[in-house]
């Protein structure tokens, strides 16, 4: 029952366009908040709030590199999230437009 509850909560998070787009971006590569803000054309507080929800649900993890925090997917043990991500259109072209070292 706990696993079903956890899955339901994670699927609820994916029902939000911004969070689903964030996961699609992170499917391509790890990104810092600055890059996510630029790619989504949103505010830093808004991006951070959505990232916190994804992190609290265990769908993303943080890695610190110098003064920057990079976010990446944490869905290895969540095949149902992999299934959803496999159907999301690729945003690789969009992430490739970002300077890979903009936050360093």
- Give me the residue spans of the domains in the chain: 2-91
Q: Tell me: the pLDDT tens digits for 29-57? A: 999 999 999 999 999 999 999 999 999 99
**Domain boundaries 2-91, corresponding CATH code:** 1.10.10.10
The reported pLDDT for the residue numbered 48 is 96
- Where b means 16+ CB within 10 Å and e means fewer, 43-62 reads eeeebbebbebbeebebbee
Mean pLDDT of 83-88: 93
At residue 63, does pLDDT exceed 90? yes
Assign 100 a pLDDT band (cuts: 50, 70, 90).
Answer: low
* Cβ neighbour number for residue 75 with a 10 Å cutoff: 19
- pLDDT value at position 46? 97
Q: pTM of the prediction?
A: 0.89
């Amino acid at each position: 029952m706990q696993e079903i509850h956890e899955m339901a909560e994670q699927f609820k998070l994916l029902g939000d366009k911004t969070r689903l787009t964030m996961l699609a971006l992170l499917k391509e590569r790890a990104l810092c908040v600055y890059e996510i803000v630029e790619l989504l054309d949103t505010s830093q507080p808004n991006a951070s709030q959505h990232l916190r929800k994804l992190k609290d649900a265990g769908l993303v993890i943080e890695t610190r590199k110098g003064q920057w925090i990079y976010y990446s997917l944490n869905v290895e043990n969540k095949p149902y999230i992999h299934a959803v991500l496999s159907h999301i259109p690729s945003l690789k072209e969009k992430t490739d437009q970002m300077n890979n070292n903009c936050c360093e």
